[in-house]
Amino acid sequence: MAGGGVLGYVAGEMMTDDPVVQRWLGPAAKAADLWLSIVLGVFVLALGWWLARTAARQGGEPGHA
């Protein structure tokens, strides 16, 4: 699950480093860089935790339907 949080953080970094996103956000791109990365990291971490918990309740493995 922690790996998912890191991937979410890196995805946020990649999105805010994209020239198209930087043009779209304008001066707010610098401020959005850190908070967007953190928000995506926490979101992916929470999603992984929730999916693992749901799968454990149903007696299956996460990611296997």
DSSP for the chain, please give it.
Answer: -HHHHHHHHHHHHHHHHSHHHHHHHTTHHHHHHHHHHHHHHHHHHHHHHHHHHHHHHHTS-TT--
Query: Over 60: is that where the pLDDT of 65 sits?
Result: no
* Confidence class for position 1, pLDDT limits 50, 70, 90: low
| Residue 21 confidence (pLDDT) | 85
Quick check: pTM over 0.85? no
pLDDT tens, residue by residue, 5-42: 788 888 888 888 889 988 888 888 878 888 888 888 88
